Amino acid sequence: MKRRLTVGAAAAVLAAAALLLGGAFRGGSSAASAPVAAPATAESLQTGFSPGSTEGLVARLQAQLRTAPDDARALDLLGLAYQQRARETGDPTWYAKSDGVLRKALRLAPDDLLATSGLGSLALSRHRFAAALTLGERARRLSPTTARNYGVIGDALVELGRYRDGFRAFDRMATLKPSLSSYARVAHARELIGDWDGAVSAMKLAADSAIGEQEPTAWTRVQLGKLYWNRGRLAQADREFRDALTAFPGYVYALDARAQVEAARGRIRPAIALERQASDTIPLPQFVATLGDLYRVEGDERGARREYALIGVIERLLRANGVKTDLETALFDVDHRVRLPHALSLARLAQAERPSIDGDDVLAWALARNGRCAEARAWSERALRLGTRDALKFFHRGWIEACLGDRSAARLWYRRSLALNPHFSILWAPVARKGVSS
């Protein structure tokens, strides 16, 4: 499979909980951090990067549709603009609005490519991967040479655990249109199969493709930094994160990443300040959870509880707007010992709907924390089946082995996780270090 693979799963901006609210974000009220405005086109609205605030574009399109409510093209653009508003503001209520206008466009023009692919992208953002696959395939039939259709198809297939098919879709995408999106998928795919050097090379090509564009430059620098971070290369990672903030001051993903670097260096107060800035700008669940964990490390249990409670509010808002959060909710609850039996039920449901290595790993972790460690080991083995070198997955396996009474195997997996990245988790890296010495 390695020889044939050129590209893989959704870019890292879609990894973990970032998929909850789409691609690239910024604070809509922060003029200092706003990208330089550029004319919004259908193409630019589909990239996941902001061409500048789309607030004015939304107002113009809404006014246009009041006088011509059956203008399918205007409906297409408004639906895509609503998705961009979600990315700009972090408000998932824009998703329901996007769904409504794009479906109206399809009723008016059943073969509308832009509406079909737009609904596919929306389904990905809502974690509705089976629906995204159906829509992506329909868009491909409408236009077999449009590269982004293969991106939607491949993203969905990978999240559904159909890696070979997903990689083939991305091969086709890269052939049709080498671009930042293609190179980023190459990078993530190579990381999935354990080819770290290849992942770095591909992400550098993505960064080169972003030269001269503010938010794409910041995004690619953060992704490159995360590759260094995942191998414990703190100084290189921090340099990339700082470069991202130079390109795009206030970029929330870079603030979050720098917070984790500061925490790894034992500088908890600066880490809290950075994570607070990120979560105040866009309250993504992963930012809020990290902030809570930082407060806990500092000994501020009240602050930690406040942030953890906010997670529940955010998840309810996401679910109310059609976003499936079972996997992310299960992982948070298992990590923090919240209603463990219920978390296991969520993890089972999430894995059934999203049978990827991440779904397998979260189910393994949930089983282990519920004391069902023999069953957990089998799912952990599945989670590692691609050869992915992921310190957190290695740690989970070590915990499972310890639960089964094999201390020697547990220490081996803990050493592997720490050798890969000594700072892989604010909560769990200290536990791995303790496990190695016990």
Domains, in order of start, for the chain: 12-324 (1.25.40.10), 325-438 (1.25.40.10)
**Structure token digits, residue 103:** 């479906």
* Length of the chain counted residue by residue: 438
Instruction: Give the C-alpha distances (Å, rounded to integers) separating 226 from 166, 177, 235, 414.
Output: 23, 25, 12, 21
**Structure token digits, residue 369:** 């924390």
Residue 19: per-residue pLDDT: 29
If we measure between CA atoms, which residue out of 193, 106, 122, 177 comes closest to residue 155? 122
Mean pLDDT by 10 residues, the chain (438 residues): 38 31 31 43 68 80 94 94 88 95 97 96 96 98 96 94 92 91 88 95 94 92 98 97 96 97 98 97 94 97 96 93 95 96 97 97 98 98 97 98 97 98 97 93
Rounded Cα–Cα distance for residues 291 and 241 (Å): 18
Q: Give the position of tokens 């991202």.
A: 244
Instruction: Calculate the CA dihedral of residues 95, 101, 102, 107 and round it to 10 degrees.
Output: 150
Q: Give the position of tokens 């922060």.
A: 30
Rounded Cα–Cα distance for residues 161 and 159 (Å): 5
Instruction: Calculate the CA dihedral of residues 227, 233, 239, 242 and round it to 10 degrees.
Output: 70
Residue 7: per-residue pLDDT: 36
319 φ, ψ (degrees, to nearest 5): -60, -40
Q: Distance between terminal CA atoms of the chain? A: 39
Measured from the Cβ of residue 4, the count of other Cβ atoms closer than 10 Å reads: 9
Q: What is the pTM of this model?
A: 0.88
Rounded Cα–Cα distance for residues 113 and 132 (Å): 14
- SS3 category, 212: coil
Rounded Cα–Cα distance for residues 257 and 229 (Å): 9
Contacts of 57 (CB under 8 A, 6+ apart): 40, 77, 81
Chain centroid offset of residue 333 CA: 18
Q: Three-state SS string across 373-436, please? A: HHHHHHHHHHHCCCCCCCHHHHHHHHHHHHHCCCHHHHHHHHHHHHHHCCCCCCCCHHHHHHHH
If we measure between CA atoms, which residue out of 200, 188, 209 comes closest to residue 6? 188
If we measure between CA atoms, which residue out of 226, 285, 216, 255 comes closest to residue 20? 285
